[in-house]
Structure 1
Amino acid sequence: MDKKQLAEETINTAANGGNDAPLTSTDVERVFDLLFGTVEHPGSIAEALNRRENVSLGSFGSFRTDGGTATFRPGTALTEFLQNKTG
């Protein structure tokens, strides 16, 4: 799934949640760029990791640096979902 497809899925999820303010693909893609970064500009996660901070995204998981490399540790909820252990 690329960024555009992920943005579309996010828009659909938001729409199904009954949000009054619809999101556009451009809105979501801009948030992705600000959060994860682009080739030209690092995102919020990269900036925090560069400062040697851990980034926790709740039950989704967390990012940290390990010897100059970013690593991701999935959270319990994500792991259980992927293992079909959720209801």
Structure 2
Amino acid sequence: MDRSGLIEAVTRKMTDGDTPSSEQIGRVVDALFGTVEEAGAIAEALKAGETVTLLGFGSFHDEDGTTGLRPGKALDEFVHGRVG
């Protein structure tokens, strides 16, 4: 899934009466993950030596000069078909 696919998927998930536009969701995605021109909040936190933890999803971390995602239990179980 690329950026556009992620934006479309998030837009579909937001089904309440006050759904933000795809453009607004795109700005949120860019603010979190960054763009070529500007780092996002996750990258800035990692550069500052922080770990970013999203409960149920996992944590982004920098370990020995390598950044990565350590999946949370809920994400791992969903991806591997143990919950549905």
Regions of 4+ moved over 6 Å: none
Aligned-residue offset at 1:71: 1.1
**Residues matched between the structures, number:** 84
Q: 1:54: Cα distance to partner? A: 0.4
2:18 counterpart residue number: 21
What is the root-mean-square deviation of aligned Cα atoms in Å? 0.9
State the identity as a percent.
44
**Cα deviation 1:27-82 (Å, max 9, x = unaligned):** 11110100000111100000000010000011001001012221110000000001
Asked if structure 2 preserves the Cα contact closer than 8 Å seen for 1:35 and 1:43, the reply is yes
Structure 1 residue ranges without an equivalent (≥5): none
Find the partner of 2:40 among 29, 39, 43.
43
Q: What is the match of residue 12 of structure 1? A: 12
Q: How high is the TM-score relative to the length of structure 1?
A: 0.91
The structure with the greater share of residues assigned to helix is: 1
